[in-house]
Amino acid sequence: MSANHQNLSQGFIEFCIQQEVLKFGEFKTKAGRLSPYFFNAGLFNDGDSLLKLGEFYANSIEKSGIEFDMLFGPAYKGIPLAASIAIAFAKRGRNLPYAYNRKEEKDHGEGGNLVGAPLKGSVLIIDDVISAGTSVRESVALINANGATTCGVSIALDRQEKGLGELSAVQEVEQKNKIPVVSIAKLADLLMLIESSEQLAKHSLEIKHYQQRYCI
């Protein structure tokens, strides 16, 4: 890992802890596992935190080298994420179109289940985390149906948890869809920060046990 990437990931985790987006304790995940930490991107819920979040995503995307023409944010959490990233890139002089979907198709007005810019060219999907990969699968199908191409997925945190087999959920998405998934930070980065902090070191053992049991 380069020093620049490490600085980005560590800075992001510190930001998440400050915003209480990342919490420690005992939490039940969607998969029914008891996790010693919880990441809730819905708590980036004001202008300042969204502004900073968009910058973290934009930095991660730029470092990945993925070439793309527009952003797509799956409903619901992906919507403000994609908007914040589009703003971050606009501040850097790149005016990116973005779009998102509705959960329920609209039967009046403009109709349909897509909002925003038309899907075309190479589309980068934006999400917070990947659990079962359902959101990505549905997004890829929607993008393809509109004649565009999915070039990758950008997420905030890669929990590095196993999916259906020995691969992680993120690796399964990469393999099934033949696209890269880039993250601002991974569980390994979280552990590195915790172990170097006197205040947070008490959480290290529980997270390591969880990592050994459920993660790659």
Please identify every residue annotated as catalytic.
106, 108
Query: Do residues 182 and 156 lie in contact, with contact meaning Cβ atoms separated by under 8 Å?
Result: no
> The tokens of 17 are what?
């802890």
SS3 sequence, 170-205? HHHHHHHHCCCEEEEEEHHHHHHHHHCCCCCHHHHH
Query: Do residues 138 and 74 lie in contact, with contact meaning Cβ atoms separated by under 8 Å?
Result: yes
Task: Say how far apart CA 131 and CA 154 lie, in whole Å.
Answer: 14
> The tokens of 155 are what?
């997420």
Query: Do residues 53 and 63 lie in contact, with contact meaning Cβ atoms separated by under 8 Å?
Result: no
